[in-house]
Amino acid sequence: MSTVTAAPVGALSGTLRVPPDKSITHRAILLAAISDRTVRVTAPLDSADTAATLNAVEACGVRVEGHLGDEIVVHGVGRLGLRPPPAIDCANAGTLMRLLPALLVGVPCDHVILDGDDSLRRRPMSRIARPLRAMGAALFTAPGGTAPLVVSGGTPLKGMRHELQVASAQVKSCILLAGLGAEGPTWVHEPTPSRDHTERMLTAAGVGVVRDGDDVGVLGRCESLSLPDLRVPGDFSSAAFHLVAGTLLADPEVRLEGVNLNPLRAGLLDVMRRMGADVTVEEGEPVAGEPCGTLIVRRSRGLTATEVEPHEVAAMIDELPLIGVLGAMAAGTTTVRGAAELRVKESDRITAVVDALTGMGVRAAELEDGFSVTGGERIPGGTIDARGDHRLAMLGAIAGLASVDGVAIDGFEAVAVSYPGFVADLRSIGGVA
Ligand code: S3P
C-alpha cells in the first residue's frame, strides 16, 4: 500500500485536458463488441476499470486492436456473437459487472461466473438480478445479493416496465440492454433521471430509444446494432477534483479542456456556484453526441455553506464527496441529504468522507442519508485512509493542497481505477501531491 502526502501549495494555474470519460469508455467497448461492424474508439480511458471491460469482451471472443488511452478498433461480433468463458473478472468495475450480464443473458452460455475484488463483492447486485429474472433471465447472485454472479444465457426474455427505487444509470442501462433481446417493449422509470450515456449511444447505434413521460424504453428485439466510430470526451468526474482545487487555489485560473458537460453529470456546477465558486463554461462542439466544453475556474474567497437536496443527488452522485471539501472551506454548515446510495459505492462513501474530513481536523458528521460539514478558515490537515476508493484518494490530495499541514493518504494507488495520471496532471498546474 502506498502513502502519498499532499503538501500545501500557494496557488494553482494552467491548462489541463482531463482523462477520457470512464462511463462512456465502458459503454463504448461493450456496445462496440455487440455491434455488427468494426468500431474505432478514439481516446478510450486507460485505467484499471476500463482495462477490465476490455479484457472481458476479449475473453468473450471479441478481437480488439490497439491500446486504451490511444485508440482501439473493436471487431464487433453482433448482439448474439459473444462467447463467454466460464469466469470473468470484473475487478473493481461496478459498471462492467452491472452491464455485461445484460449482454450475456441473450447468448447461449451456461453457468458463467462474474466476480470482482473485495470492494465489488460488497456492492448490491440484486438490483440487476431481480429485474432481469423478472424478464425471464437466469441470473443469480451469492446469498446477500452480491457477487459472484452466475449467468446462464439464452432463455427467452419478455419486455416489461420496471420502476426503480433509486436513480441508477447502471441499473437502467442493464435493463435497457437486456431489453434489446426481449419480446415487446422494456420500460424503465427512475425517481430522478440518471446519466443517459447508454441512451445516447444506443440511439447513435440505430436503436429506437423511446420516452413516455418520465419513462425511457426500447421497443423490443433489436436485430442489428451499428455503433459509429467515436471519440471519448473528457470525464467531468475527473475534472471535478481540479474544479474544487481551483476554487480553493487557482490564481489566476485553471482551464479544463474537452470536458463532457452532460447536464445529468454536471450537477456539481450548480451547487458550486451557489456556494460562491467562480466557474465559467465555454461551450465547444459536441463529442460522441455529448455536450462538451472548457471549464475555467478561479479561486473564490468567501464560500458559503449550502444544502444539497435529494433531487440534486443523481446528477452529481460521484462528486458528492467533494462537497465535503468545499463545505470544509465554506462559512456555515453544509449538508448533503437523500444520498444513501453513497453507502454502496466503491466504499461506504458517507462514513469514508466523514472519517476523512475528521482525520484532517474538519468538523463533519454522518447522517443516515448523507453528511454535514462545518467550515472553517483552513483545513488543518492529517492522515486519511483511501479504503481502496479512487475518489477518496483524490479527495485527500485536493484537501491537502489547501490545508495547513498537508494530508497523507494511505492507499493512494487506488487512483489507478479511474485516473492513473492524476498526480502528473496536478503537478502540471502547480500541485505537489
Ligand atoms: C455509473 C453510474 C453511477 C456512478 C458510477 C458510474 C455509470 O452508478 O456512481 O461511478 O457508468 O453508469 P449508479 O448507476 O449505481 O448510480
Domains (ranges, CATH) in the chain? 3-20+233-428 (3.65.10.10), 22-231 (3.65.10.10)
**Residue to substitute in 317, 346, 347, 390 for testing ligand 1 pocket (most ligand atoms within 8 angstroms of CB):** 317
Q: Are 423 and 245 in contact (CB under 8 A)?
A: no
**Residue to substitute in 21, 22, 23, 236 for testing ligand 1 pocket (most ligand atoms within 8 angstroms of CB):** 23
Backbone angles phi, psi at 226, to 5 degrees: -135, 80
Task: Give pLDDT tens digits for 335-363.
Answer: 999 999 999 999 999 999 999 999 999 99
- Which stretches within 44-196 are classed as H helix? 48-59, 94-104, 118-121, 126-134, 169-179
Q: Are 408 and 4 in contact (CB under 8 A)?
A: yes
Whether the CB of 198 sits within 6 Å of ligand 1? no
Q: Mean pLDDT in runs of 10 for the chain (433 residues)?
A: 95 98 98 98 98 98 98 98 98 98 97 97 98 98 98 98 97 98 98 98 98 94 96 98 98 98 98 98 98 98 97 98 98 98 97 98 98 96 97 98 98 97 97 72
Angstrom distances, CA of residue 40 to CA of 56, 68, 75:
18, 12, 9
User: What are the grid coordinates assigned to 69, written together?
Assistant: 488511452
Residue 142's pLDDT is: 98
Residue 1's pLDDT is: 86
Backbone angles phi, psi at 53, to 5 degrees: -70, -40
Q: Residue 234's closest CA among 43, 398, 70?
A: 43
The pTM score is 0.98
d(Cα 31, Cα 287) in Å, to the nearest integer? 17
Task: Give pLDDT tens digits for 168-227.
Answer: 999 999 999 999 999 999 999 999 999 999 999 999 999 999 999 889 999 999 989 999
Please list, residue by residue across 187-222, b when 16 or more beta carbons sit within 10 angstroms of its beta carbon and e when fewer do. Answer: bbebbbebbbbbbbbbebbebebeeeeeebbbbeeb
d(Cα 4, Cα 21) in Å, to the nearest integer? 25
333 DSSP β-pair partners: 374
Span from the CA of 123 to the centroid of ligand 1 (angstroms):
12
Considering Cα of 380, then 381, then 384, then 389, what sign does the dihedral take? positive
3-state percent helix, strand, coil for the chain, nearest multiple of 5? 35, 30, 40
Backbone angles phi, psi at 235, to 5 degrees: -90, 120
d(Cα 34, Cα 384) in Å, to the nearest integer? 42
Considering Cα of 152, then 133, then 82, then 231, what sign does the dihedral take? negative
| Active site residue ranges | 318
Q: Are 234 and 418 in contact (CB under 8 A)?
A: no
Residue 261's pLDDT is: 98
Residue 433's pLDDT is: 54
Angstrom distances, CA of residue 267 to CA of 100, 191, 254, 313:
27, 16, 20, 8
Residue 223's pLDDT is: 87
Q: In ligand 1, which atom is closest to the CA atom of 168?
A: 14
Residue 199's pLDDT is: 98
Task: List all residues 6 or more positions away from 143 whose beta carbon is below 8 Å from its beta carbon.
Answer: none
Angstrom distances, CA of residue 353 to CA of 1, 240, 324, 328:
20, 16, 7, 12
Whether the CB of 168 sits within 6 Å of ligand 1? yes
Q: Are 243 and 425 in contact (CB under 8 A)?
A: no
DSSP string across 310-351 = GGGSGGGTTTHHHHHHHHHTSBSEEEE-S-GGGGGSSS-HHH
Task: List all residues 6 or more positions away from 258 whose beta carbon is below 8 Å from its beta carbon.
Answer: 17, 18, 233, 234, 284, 287, 292, 294
